[in-house]
Amino acid sequence: MSIALDTIKKLENRLNQRILGQETVVEKMITTLLADGNLLLEGLPGLAKTRAIKSLSKALELQLSRIQFTPDLLPSDITGTEIYQPESDEKFVFEKGPIFANLILADEINRAPAKVQAALLEAMEERQVTVSGKTYPMEPLFFVMATQNPVEQEGTYPLPEAQLDRFLMKAVMNYPSKNNERKVMQLVRAEQTNHSKTEETPLDAQLIFDARKEIDAISVSETAERYIVDLVDATRFPGAYTEDLAAWIHVGVSPRATIALEKCARITAWRNGRDHVLPDDIRHVAHDIMRHRIMLSYEANAKGITTDQVIDEVIKNVAILA
């Protein structure tokens, strides 16, 4: 096991000790960070979404900005703005906004109108912000985790497909089990009473860059490449596979999904100590990568068919061709 992989395992264990019962979400969060992507996290209030990214920030000693999205938020509240300072030689000085941090928590991103949501797009995609014709680069280690409530839709602005596509993954956070719920109570009580607890030494954030170099070396066979392309093709031309898929899918996934499937499959293989990608690695990440990119038909929505069910059907009907 490499030093980078061993440290990533330690990071995952630390986060799982702080965020009980959400091992899958922790895995997706680390995978997205290693892939240099952004994560959309959907879950009801109180499921430790904020705690998750705060714990990641403390574990790696990275700067965290939390942006609470509200209907009256302005784009400049995120990116920053130029301030007039007559004593300065340039007269106008750029005051950076909260987007200029390593980790960004975009809390309830669908609470803000489209213009504000769009303020994140350039930072998420190009890793830069442009204000008054000047471009300001983001930090080398930059990760946006946006959250949204799947139930309460009053006063919200659904994310357009073009913006959803910018998120590498969409993870779903569910209620913890009864056993984990009890452990959560015990953990919070212990944190409140044991103020003298020694903090763990932060891990070196350089490990993320070291891990990315090792992940780049993971090989992807022609068979795996064809399997990824066939999965994507099944969402775009579902009629060539089954009648159900043809009836359920309105719009298939974009090329960003193809790139994400390959990249995250390599990360999964690396995390499992292999130097090559297997079909199981691709299937392991398929739901999180495709669930926010597939647009369901009216018929599917009317019948209560979920995107995850559609992806299950896609995987079931796409063969692995050697």
Q: Is 196 within a domain? A: no
Q: Is 322 within a domain? A: no
pLDDT per residue as tens digits for the range 28-54: 999 999 999 999 999 888 888 889 999
Looking at the structure of the chain, the number of domains it has is 2
* Residue 21 in this model has a pLDDT that exceeds 80: yes
What's the CATH code of the domain at 273? 1.10.8.80
166 and 106 assigned to the same domain: yes
Q: Is 199 within a domain? A: no
Q: Lowest-confidence range among 78-82, 241-245, 277-281?
A: 78-82
Q: Is 197 within a domain? A: no
183 and 36 assigned to the same domain: yes
∠ CA 260-208-232, nearest 5°, is 5
Report how far residue 113's alpha carbon sits from residue 130's, in angstroms, rounded to the nearest whole number: 20
pLDDT at 210: 95
pLDDT at 190: 86
The residue among 138, 171, 188 that closes a domain is 188
85 and 226 assigned to the same domain: no
What's the CATH code of the domain at 12? 3.40.50.300
266 and 158 assigned to the same domain: no
8 and 154 assigned to the same domain: yes
**Residue 69 · residue 109 · CB < 8 Å:** yes
171 and 37 assigned to the same domain: yes
37 and 128 assigned to the same domain: yes
41 and 134 assigned to the same domain: yes
The residue among 151, 170, 188 that closes a domain is 188
12 and 137 assigned to the same domain: yes
Q: Is 59 within a domain? A: yes
| pTM for the structure as a whole | 0.91
The residue among 148, 170, 188 that closes a domain is 188
136 and 284 assigned to the same domain: no
Q: Is 203 within a domain? A: no
Mean pLDDT for 154-165 is 79
DSSP, res 275 = S
Which of residues 192 and 260 earns the better pLDDT score? 260
In the chain the first and final C-alpha atoms are separated, in Å, by 30
144 and 55 assigned to the same domain: yes
* DSSP line for 147-170: EE-SS--TT--PPPHHHHTT-SEE
Residue 59 belongs to what domain range? Answer: 3-188
